[in-house]
Amino acid sequence: MERRVVITGIGGLCGLGTDAASIWKAMREGRSAIGPIANSELHELKGMIGAEIKALPEHDINRKQLVSMDRFSLLAVIAAREAARQAELSIDEGNTYRIGATVGVGVCGWDAIEENYRAMLLNGAKRAAILTAPKVMPSAACAQVSMSLGLRGPVFGVTSACASANHAIASAVDQIRLGRADVMLAGGSDAPLVWGVLKSWEALRVLSPDTCRPFSADRKGVVLGEGAGMAVLESYQHAARRGATILAEIAGAGLSADAFDIVAPEVEGPEAAMRACLSDAGLNAEDVDYLNAHGTATRANDQIETAAIKRVFRHHAHSMSVSSTKSVHAHCLGAASALEMIACVMAIREGVVPPTANYREPDPDCDLDVTPNEPRERKIRVALSNAFAMGGTNAVVAFKLV
Pairing of strands 155-158, 99-104: parallel
Q: Helix crossing, 268-281 with 299-313: angle to 10°?
A: 40
Q: Is 238 a catalytic residue?
A: no
| Alpha-carbon torsion, ordered 53, 107, 105, 346, to 10 deg | 40
Q: How far is the C-alpha of 247 from the C-alpha of 104, rounded, in Å? A: 22
Q: How far is CA 236 from CA 30, 251, 305, 328, 362, in A?
A: 33, 12, 33, 33, 42
Residue by residue, what is the 3-state secondary structure of 17-80?
A: ECCHHHHHHHHHHCCCCEEECCCCCCCCCCCCEEECCCCCCCCCCCHHHHCCCCHHHHHHHHHH
| Per-residue DSSP letter, 207 | B
Q: Is 162 a catalytic residue?
A: yes
Catalytic residue among 294, 329, 332, 344: 294
Catalytic residue among 167, 238, 329, 331: 331
Q: How many helices (H) and strands (E) does the chain have?
A: 13, 14
Q: Is 329 a catalytic residue?
A: no
Of 279, 291, 350, 277, nearest to 319 (Cα)? 291
Catalytic residue among 162, 277, 332, 344: 162
Question: Which residues participate in catalysis according to the annotation?
Answer: 162, 294, 331
